[in-house]
Amino acid sequence: MPTARPASASLTPAELGVLLGRAGLTLNPGQTADLVLVWRQLSAMAASLPRDRPLSDDQAFVFRLPPPAAPARRAVKTR
């Protein structure tokens, strides 16, 4: 079983070629080089994110939307 690589590790063009082949994508060398560069930039950004904070500091886990309002009822006019 392959070992997981750390998020900060760089991706080589050969490794990206294997991933692209598994995905069924055919890219030219310029597009492959762009993807390698983006991978390196994103992995560096992800590595810089702090991970020592509790989940309660994340608003996505704390914020709760209020329940939806009941639908307004219209008055029925009689003739």
Q: What is the pLDDT along the chain (79 residues), one digit of tens a residue?
A: 444 555 546 788 888 889 999 999 999 999 988 998 998 899 999 988 888 888 777 777 777 778 888 887 777 777 6
pTM (predicted TM-score): 0.52
Provide the residue type at 75 as one letter.
A
User: Is the Cα torsion angle 58, 60, 61, 67 positive or negative in sign?
Assistant: positive
CA distance 45 to 26: 27
The 8 Å CB, 24+ separation contacts for 17-26 are: none
